[in-house]
Structure 1
Amino acid sequence: MDEKITGTILAVLARAPEWVRHDLAGKENGIRRRAEETIAAMICSALHERDGHA
């Protein structure tokens, strides 16, 4: 991965809501899956914005 992508992903993770952080560490598959999907959507959105595809 290039440094710009890594930086964008790290920035998204840094601003992830507390419920997402909590749910990512959870044992329930459904709850953890929802948090994973939320993070994925946040990363996707940030990468599109970064590339001017907003």
Structure 2
Amino acid sequence: MMSHIQELVWKCRDEPDMDKKIELYNRIRKMLPHSRKLPSMVTDDYINSALDEI
């Protein structure tokens, strides 16, 4: 059974809308004890590589 964070990670990866993807990524970040700061320019590649580290 997947944890809630894992489910959100997969949902975020599959989300085609960038605004929704950023929103999901921020929800995931808030659930983690330590997370990366968001750069001023967020790209799909940045979020995917950050999700790889989770």
What is the TM-score of this pair, normalised by structure 2? 0.41
Which one has a larger percent helix, Structure 1 or Structure 2? Answer: 1
Which gives a bigger RCO, structure 1 or 2 (Cα 8 Å, sep 6+)? 1
Structure (1 or 2) with the larger CA radius of gyration: 1
